[in-house]
Amino acid sequence: MPRRRLSEHQIARIRTIQERRRQRLADRAEVALTELDDEAGDETVAEAGLVVVRHGANLAVEDTQGRIHHCLARRHIGEAVCGDRVVWQRTGEGQGVVTAVQPRESVLSRPDYSGRDKPLAANLTQIVVLIAPEPEPSGYLIDQYLVAAELMGVKALIVANKMDLLERPATRAFRQRFDHYPAVGYPILWTSLREPEGIGPVGRVLSGEISILVGQSGVGKSSLVKALLPDREIQIGRLSRATGLGRHTTSAATCYRLPGRGSLIDSPGVRSFRLGAIDRDTLLWGFRELRPYLGHCRFSDCRHQQEPGCALREAAAAGHITPERIANFHHLAAGLSPSRLQPE
């Protein structure tokens, strides 16, 4: 079913209403925050919590009983994001103040418009890259996510969804295009959420993990969450009550509890994902199957382009490395502008 198209005017109106709601909640919490600061020797107990979603200054924090609270964060504690484990204190019914962010085990970030790294989600154990026959997949985008996973030190896998869209011969050709990923250790699950048996294998690889679903808009990330979570509507309802946001927003990474163990983070679709401030060698290391060849080129300052005796190009010529991966490395390396080579 095609999505209902909203006019610019309607979109602007919805945004204004949501902004007003957020502001009202923020004001309430701000007052609570001031009161909390004023109370000398306050007896409020610090509690453990998990950030489920963040919208600007507003945080939805899940307590240890699974209840969601609308929180603001103390300013000096840095930015808390989806997946962060935090310390917080109650300030009122369903409200609180986050007073500390626990050290992160991993963080996925990307640069904002000014080039500064901005965390998207924390404490992930796995990145799940969704692709589909439509929209047309981008190997360049896939490789950026895989490099990000390598640099974060978490697992990565690919879920190829919407396979029902392809006839048999086209399926074979499509699958062949991605053969090199399982060959270097990134599993691919071929599935269709339109088919009842499509969801089981995906559910199994997500169980017990904290996974983020990433990929282009329209590949089926939110559909996958919906298929896996019988109580998704309830979780979203609780969330929107806590954060004051509309139910249909997909503008921020949101963490859902899986029925068994583990969580699933739905993220807004992106056309491009950019890696943060890294140098060329780090980028190269992020292409895992290239590692055994590093340091084996004839010239120690080899750029792996036209140089004779380049171990990478020789390996590619011998069929041990997929040339597309090296091309994507060069493409990405070219995008590492000098100002982004070093963190500011």
Ligand X SMILES: Nc1nc2c(ncn2[C@@H]2O[C@H](COP(=O)(O)OP(=O)(O)OP(=O)(O)O)[C@@H](O)[C@H]2O)c(=O)[nH]1
User: CA-CA distances (angstroms) from residue 4 to 66, 217, 339?
Assistant: 34, 16, 42
Q: Which is nearer to Mg ion, 250 or 272 (CB)?
A: 250
Nearer to Mg ion, 126 or 222 (CB): 222
Instruction: Give min distance, CB of 17 to ligand X, in A.
Output: 21
CB of 172 to ligand X, least distance (A): 18
Cβ atoms of residues 156 and 149 within 8 Å = yes
DSSP state of 177: T
Nearer to ligand X, 146 or 193 (CB): 193
33 touches which of Mg ion, ligand X, Zn ion, none (CB within 5 to 8 A by kind)?
none
State how far the Cα of 321 lies from the Cα of 3, in Å rounded to an integer.
42
Which is it for the CA torsion 159, 163, 165, 171, positive or negative?
positive
Nearest in space to 29 (alpha carbons), one of 82, 79, 70: 70
CB-nearest residue to Mg ion: 222
Residues within window 235-264 making contact with Mg ion, judged by CB under 5 A: 250
Q: How far is the CB of 246 from Mg ion (least distance, A)?
A: 14
Please report, as ranges, the residues that interact with ligand X according to CB under 6 A: 161-162, 164-165, 192-194, 217-223, 250, 268-269
CB of 159 to ligand X, least distance (A): 10
* Residue 9 CB, nearest approach to ligand X (Å): 22
Under the criterion CB under 5 A, does residue 222 sit at the interface with Mg ion? yes
Interactions with Zn ion, residue window 295-314 (CB under 5 A): 297, 302, 304, 310, 312
Alpha carbon distance, N-terminus to C-terminus of the chain: 47
CB of 108 to ligand X, least distance (A): 16
CA distances from 218 to 2, 134, 136, 162, 291 (A): 12, 8, 10, 10, 33
Among ligand X, Zn ion, Mg ion, none, the one that 310 touches (CB under a kind-dependent 5 to 8 A) is Zn ion
- 96 binds, options ligand X, Mg ion, Zn ion, none, Cβ within 5 to 8 A by partner type: none
Angle at 280 between CA 129 and CA 157, to 5 degrees: 15
How far CA 232 is from CA of 8, 191, 226, 249, 266, in Å, comes to 29, 21, 6, 14, 12
304 binds, among Mg ion, ligand X, Zn ion, none (CB under 5 to 8 A by kind): Zn ion
Interacting span for Mg ion (CB under 5 A) from 70-78, 154-162, 218-226, 314-322: 218-226
The item of Zn ion, Mg ion, ligand X, none sharing an interface with residue 192, based on CB under 5 to 8 Å by kind, is: ligand X
Q: Which residue is nearest to ligand X (CB)?
A: 269
Give the position of tokens 């029925």. Answer: 259
Cβ-based nearer residue to Zn ion, 87 or 294: 294
Name the minimum Å distance from CB 212 to ligand X.
Answer: 12
Asked if 147 and 214 count as a contact pair (C-beta separation under 8 A), the reply is no
220 binds, among Zn ion, Mg ion, ligand X, none (CB under 5 to 8 A by kind): ligand X
Please report how close the Cβ of residue 176 comes to ligand X at its closest, in angstroms: 20
Residue environment code for 300-339, b if the CB has 16+ CB neighbours within 10 A, otherwise e: eebebeeeeebbbbbbbeeeebbeebbebbeebbeebeee
**122-137 as b/e, with b when 16 or more CB fall inside 10 Å?**
bbbbbbbbbbbbeeeb
Residue 115 to residue 111: CA distance in whole angstroms:
5
Binding site for Zn ion (CB under 5 A): 297, 302, 304, 310, 312
Binding site for Mg ion (CB under 5 A): 221-222, 250
